[in-house]
Amino acid sequence: MEDTQSTEKVREDFDRLADLSDEGEWDHNAHYHAFLLKQLPSRCSEALEVGCGTGVFARSLAERCERVLAVDLSPRMVEVARDRSKGHPNVEYLVADANSWEFPEERFGCVASITTLHHLPLAPTLRKMAGALRPGGTMLVLDLYRAQSPADYLFGAAGFPASKALKLAKTGGLTHRQSPALRRTWEEHGATDVYLTPAEVRDACAEAGLRGAKVRRHLLWRYSLVWRKPIR
């Protein structure tokens, strides 16, 4: 990852994307929010989100948890997130690089991250996220994967009609609603993104010591990782 995307470049890309972002636009990540939230117990004390972007998932977590700490590398993303979270006083935002930020030890009932971990070394970051969870807490990850096996490719192919049908159902149309500038900026950013295969994600879980982690492939080119920290 270091070869293709420096942290500085990632920060600049997301600062630009923050300024162009739309509020409330349905996207492929949002489609999986309900699935992720379903993995949590009905009550959760405090949650951490790593790479919160404009705070869409942090605000959903805030409906379920007493407090949410949401961290992001991009100062502009955090400004936009704060602005959109005025009705959620239990969310605290922090500008920090997850590579160097000191994760608090055993503090959170949930540690989540959505389409961010491909910017970070996976196994070391999972280890830090696991360390920040209280015993019994839940780790939730959603990210894009790179197809490798025939099954990955078949699954990925099925994602195209599924994406069209979902887009029609959620937005009432099939055309792009994003502004051309936003679409172009995402395309430029995505050109240097590198994703892991599902097998590499499972290896990283093993390396990070996440015994019993459930890694699932989903239709819209994403995997989820759900892990419960054992109670000692």
Ligand X SMILES: C[S@@+](CC[C@H](N)C(=O)[O-])C[C@H]1O[C@@H](n2cnc3c(N)ncnc32)[C@H](O)[C@@H]1O
Q: Directed axis angle between helix 180-190 and helix 7-20, to 10°?
A: 160
DSSP class of residue 178 equals S
Smallest separation (angstroms) from ligand X to the CB of 221: 13
- Counting contacts by CB under 6 A, is residue 99 touching ligand X? yes
Smallest separation (angstroms) from ligand X to the CB of 231: 28
Tell me the torsion sign for CA atoms 165, 169, 174, 179: negative
Of 70 and 215, the one with the shorter C-beta distance to ligand X is 70
Residue nearest to ligand X (CB): 53
Cα dist from 28 to 32, 83, 160, whole Å: 7, 23, 12
DSSP class of residue 175 equals S
- Member of 10, 36, 182, 213 binding ligand X (CB under 6 A): 10
- Member of 32, 44, 46, 72 binding ligand X (CB under 6 A): 72
- Counting contacts by CB under 6 A, is residue 119 touching ligand X? yes
Cβ contact 62:90 at 8 Å:
yes
**Residue 226 token pair:** 């759900």
Q: Directed axis angle between helix 198-207 and helix 122-132, to 10°?
A: 50
Smallest separation (angstroms) from ligand X to the CB of 228: 21
From 123, 78, 130, select the one nearest 107 (Cα to Cα): 130
- Member of 36, 69, 114, 132 binding ligand X (CB under 6 A): 114
Location of structure tokens 């992720």: 36
Of 16 and 107, the one with the shorter C-beta distance to ligand X is 16
Ramachandran angles phi, psi of 139, nearest 5°: -100, 130
Site mask for ligand X (CB under 6 A), range 28-67, x = bound: -x---------------------xxx--xx----------
Smallest separation (angstroms) from ligand X to the CB of 226: 16
- Member of 12, 79, 92, 97 binding ligand X (CB under 6 A): 97
Tell me the torsion sign for CA atoms 167, 17, 50, 62: negative
Site mask for ligand X (CB under 6 A), range 152-191, x = bound: ----------------------------------------
Interaction site with ligand X (CB under 6 A): 7, 10, 14, 29, 51-53, 56-57, 71-74, 77, 97-99, 114-116, 119-120
